[in-house]
Amino acid sequence: MATIAPVDARLDAREDYLLRLGDDALVLGQRLSELCGHGPILEIDISLANLALDLVGQATLLLGEAGAKEDQGGDRLAFHRDVLDFKNCLLVEQPNGDFAQTIARHLLYTTWQHMLLQRLQQSSDRFLVEFAHKAVKEVAYHRALAAEWTIRLGDGTGESARRMAEGLDWTWRFVPELFEVDESLHSAIERGIAPDPRSFEDEYRSVIAEVLAQAELAIPSDQRPILGGRRGHHTEHLGHLLAVMQFLPRTHGEVSW
Amino acid sequence: MVTEIVDRTEAIWTALANVPDPEIPVLSVVDLGIVRSVAPDRVVVTTTYTGCPASDVIERSIRIALDQAGFADATLERAISPAWTTDWITPEGRSKLQAYGIAPPARSSPRCPQCRSDDVLEVSRFGSTPCKSMWRCAACLEPFEQFKCH
């Protein structure tokens, strides 16, 4: 009987890191694209579709690079891996919920992503440096949009403030995972490929606190953190997202535009 | 020999200057600043936004233009570094945008491309394509797009 090595053992730290960042972008891009045609107002609809487009573009670069060694295209990684092979953080796979929950999720992720990309520009890895220089400009817009809407909803009507607070409560438990350093990430940090997220956790928390203060919202109370996405242990939501996203290329293998 | 190389490079630039951007057809790929370098046997292009859906179409149009102009042997490569910036839009490109009704990128608020008023309001930071934002002119009341500074 052939033994199949655990996924992590087959990946080196660099590939694993590329998959983590690539899957974050892909899954969040897919989530936001679910809102295309369903945004609360036309301008938001277009904004969220634009964010999704940037993220899918970033995923294309990252997954393309992750698959380059084994000559697997980025599409192959995006559409032909199963849920246990996905390395995205749990935050990005959470459902859109109402608009406030979508904005809460985006604020928490994009603030982290922006800080990460700023530091990734000093990576020892040439591809990641080039990628970070390009993506950081796009993500700066994402971050501004999420912060503006958090403030507008938090400092809006009683109902918008309540919904914004509920959205933050729902997503808050997924924040600690963004700063978790496991064995694989540790090795990427050692090699100078990845910045250590713990080095900007305090700054992250103070930036979020500042936005919430402007929004007149309380910082949610800490909950039991939920971890595991980086190692393929996902919430029930990811499988449903992948089913929709992967159905076509999996069912009709050779189909093309 | 040197003249031949110069001529060939010039001819490639001329061929590329006729390839329009599919989203904003008044601009050529040269106006947009996405052609990064041209050598007799090699053309390097970059993308505007990573997710720009026009990227593939643009590369295909460039390939066709090269082939038709007799440069089928020149390679076409895509580079992501240095990252594209709107500073690379040429002065001709900026005037073409303005004449087309799209305010060119500016560090401060744009002027209305219709009436030139600076009494303008940003309606949304995201427009019909990732590279544009939506504005309204308070003087002539016309809506307009701005090519975002990037």
- Give me the domains of chain B, ranges plus CATH numbers: 2-87 (3.30.300.130), 101-147 (no CATH)
Helices and strands counted in chain A (H then E)? 12, 0
Q: Is B41 helix (H, G, I), strand (E, B) or coil?
A: coil
Asked whether the beta carbons of residue B50 and residue A134 sit closer than 8 angstroms, the reply is yes
Residue B100, min C-alpha distance to chain A (Å): 22
Query: Checking DSSP bridges between strand B102-103 and strand B143-147, what pairing results, if any?
Result: parallel
User: Which regions of chain B does DSSP assign to beta strands (E)?
Assistant: 35-39, 42-45, 75-78, 102-103, 120-124, 132-137, 143-147
Interface test with B, best of A118, A134, A138 (most B CBs within 10 A): A134
Q: What CATH number labels A11-246?
A: 1.20.1260.10
Contact between B28 and B19 under an 8 Å Cβ cutoff? The reply is yes
CA pair distance B25, B125, nearest whole angstrom: 22
Q: Does A50 touch chain B (CB under 8 A)?
A: yes
Complex prediction ipTM = 0.84
CB pairs under 8 A between A and B: 62
CA pair distance A227, A91, nearest whole angstrom: 10
CB-nearest partner of B80 from A46, A130, A137? A130
Instruction: Please tell me the pTM assigned to this model.
Output: 0.90
Per the model's pLDDT, the better-predicted residue between A106 and A4 turns out to be: A106
Set of chain A residues whose Cβ sits within 8 Å of the Cβ of B51:
29, 53-58, 60, 138
CA pair distance A61, A22, nearest whole angstrom: 8
The answer to whether the Cα torsion of B101, B131, A246, A64 is positive or negative is positive
DSSP letter (8 states) at residue B37: E
Whether A82 has a pLDDT exceeding 70, the answer reads yes
Q: Is B39 helix (H, G, I), strand (E, B) or coil?
A: strand
pLDDT single digits (tens) A7-49: 445 569 999 999 999 999 999 999 999 999 999 998 899 999 9
Asked whether the beta carbons of residue B125 and residue A141 sit closer than 8 angstroms, the reply is yes
The pLDDT > 70 percentage for chain A reads 95
- Angle, helices A201-214/A99-120, rounded to nearest 10 degrees: 140
Asked whether the beta carbons of residue A57 and residue B150 sit closer than 8 angstroms, the reply is no
* Mean pLDDT of all residues in B116-137: 90
Residue B92, min C-alpha distance to chain A (Å): 25
Per the model's pLDDT, the better-predicted residue between A254 and B83 turns out to be: B83
Q: Is A147 helix (H, G, I), strand (E, B) or coil?
A: helix
Per-residue tokens: A218 = 């309380």
Q: Does A130 touch chain B (CB under 8 A)?
A: yes
Set of chain A residues whose Cβ sits within 8 Å of the Cβ of B125:
47, 141, 144-145
- What chain B residue is nearest to A58 in terms of C-alpha separation? B50
| C-alpha distance from residue B100 to each of A45, B104, B113, B122, B139 (Å) | 26, 10, 8, 19, 19
Set of chain A residues whose Cβ sits within 8 Å of the Cβ of B36:
none
pLDDT single digits (tens) A111-168: 999 999 999 999 999 999 999 999 999 999 999 999 999 999 999 999 999 999 999 9
Whether A5 has a pLDDT exceeding 50, the answer reads no
- What chain A residue is nearest to B124 in terms of C-alpha separation? A43
Q: Is A1 helix (H, G, I), strand (E, B) or coil?
A: coil
Neighbour count for residue A114 (Cβ, 10 Å): 21
How do the domains of chain A map onto residue ranges? 11-246
Asked whether the beta carbons of residue B53 and residue A53 sit closer than 8 angstroms, the reply is yes
For residues B56-69, one letter each, b for 16 or more C-beta atoms within 10 angstroms of the residue's C-beta and e for the rest, the string is: eebbebbbebbeee
- What chain A residue is nearest to B129 in terms of C-alpha separation? A50
Query: Checking DSSP bridges between strand B35-39 and strand B42-45, what pairing results, if any?
Result: antiparallel
Whether B62 has a pLDDT exceeding 70, the answer reads yes
